């Protein structure tokens, strides 16, 4: 797994932990920053994971609105926590990181959903993110 993939997984873990614990995301980020400082062998994935999580903190409301807009028939509250985290990471990348091609952000998210979530999650995540990407390209 490449450094960016590891960073996405690390960001996904932080978002998931905050959601499940119902803890502030910035608190979980601080805890992970302490852990990162104590584990230099994992340092290659830390800067991008931190960038993603900070981006989700700063743009969380807009990201959640985009997800709910494109998750036809689903609210964030009805989604499994891991799917929410996956969608938030990938939506941040689609909207706020032009360096990452849409196809890469979506493929990584689908892979995480396949490995970490329900049998239906990968197609659901793919559909939501595809719709978001398409709407962003129409808007530009």
Q: Report the C-alpha gap between 132 and 34 in whole angstroms.
A: 34
**pLDDT score of 39:** 85
Q: How far is CA 107 from the centre of its chain?
A: 12
**pLDDT score of 43:** 78
Read off the CATH number of the domain in which 57 is found: 1.10.940.10
Helix (H) / strand (E) containing 54: helix 46-70
Look up the domain containing 58 and give its range: 3-139
Q: Report the C-alpha gap between 57 and 40 in whole angstroms.
A: 25
pLDDT at 41 over 90: no
Q: How many residues does the chain have?
A: 140
Q: How many domains does the chain have?
A: 1
pLDDT at 17 over 90: yes
pLDDT at 56 over 70: yes
**pLDDT score of 22:** 96
**pLDDT tens readout for residues 70-110:** 999 999 999 999 999 999 999 999 999 999 999 999 999 99
Q: Which two tokens stand for residue 139?
A: 């808007």
């Amino acid at each position: 797994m490449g450094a960016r993939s590891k960073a996405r997984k690390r960001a996904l873990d932080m978002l998931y932990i905050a959601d499940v614990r119902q803890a502030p995301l910035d608190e979980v980020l601080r805890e992970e920053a302490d852990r990162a400082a104590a584990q230099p062998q994992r340092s290659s994935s830390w800067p991008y994971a931190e960038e993603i999580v900070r981006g989700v903190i700063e743009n969380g409301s807009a990201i959640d609105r985009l997800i709910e807009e494109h998750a036809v028939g689903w609210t964030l509250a009805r989604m499994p926590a891991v799917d929410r985290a996956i969608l938030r990471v990938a939506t941040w990348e689609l909207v706020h990181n032009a360096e990452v091609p849409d196809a890469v952000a979506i493929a990584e998210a689908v892979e995480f959903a396949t490995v970490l979530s329900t049998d239906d999650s990968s197609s659901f995540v793919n559909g939501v993110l595809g719709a978001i990407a398409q709407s962003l390209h129409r808007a530009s």
